[in-house]
Amino acid sequence: MKKLTKLQIENKNEIISNKNLSIEERRAAYNDILQMTLNPVENFDPETFDPFSDDPDYEVKRRPRQKHSGKINTFGMNPKKILEGQMIGHFESKQDLYLLFANKFNDLMDEVEDMKKEIKKLQKQ
């Protein structure tokens, strides 16, 4: 989707708020803003996507994308205790969510490695 200018967004917001227009016109304006918000990059390539590529110091700050193999580093940290309620994840920070996923992923990787060893043992018999 083509990026909207600030003025275009303001105009779309006016359309959304204008009760004299049809619901279809108002929804169309809302969908334009929604699509721009959800898809802010033209010619999106997941291999090279970087939300900060327009930064003047991009080449200094750039972090290349790469697939990770094996375990994910946690430096031995565990996530904080999860507070359960209707608003799941409301009190978890990005760090806690990362640690939660990384620790569970690493547990699964351990199980996969154990199963691979067991399979090799069975194949040798």
- For the chain, what is the mean pLDDT? 88
Asked if residue 86 belongs to a domain, the reply is yes
Burial zone of 106 (CB within 10 Å; 0-12 exposed, 13-18 middle, 19+ buried): middle
Is the CB of residue 26 less than 8 Å from the CB of residue 15?
A: yes
Given pLDDT bands bounded at 50, 70 and 90, which one contains residue 1?
Answer: low
Higher pLDDT, 49 or 117: 117
What's the one-letter identity of residue 97?
Answer: L
Instruction: Domain of residue 98: give its range.
Output: 67-124
Together in a domain, 73 and 118: yes
Mind listing the pLDDT tens digit for each residue in 28-77?
999 999 988 888 777 788 888 887 877 899 899 888 888 888 899 999 99
DSSP letters along 61-119, please?
H--------SPPP-TT--PPPP--SSSTTTT--HHHHHHHHHHHHHHHHHHHHHHHHHH
Asked if residue 79 belongs to a domain, the reply is yes
The count of structural domains within the chain is: 2
Tokens of 54: 């327009």
Q: What is the pTM of this model?
A: 0.57
Question: What integer pLDDT is reported at residue 31 of this predicted model?
Answer: 93
Asked if residue 1 belongs to a domain, the reply is no
Mind listing the pLDDT tens digit for each residue in 37-49?
888 777 788 888 8
Together in a domain, 120 and 72: yes
Task: Work out the percent of the chain whose per-residue pLDDT is above 70.
Answer: 98
Neighbour count for residue 99 (Cβ, 10 Å): 19
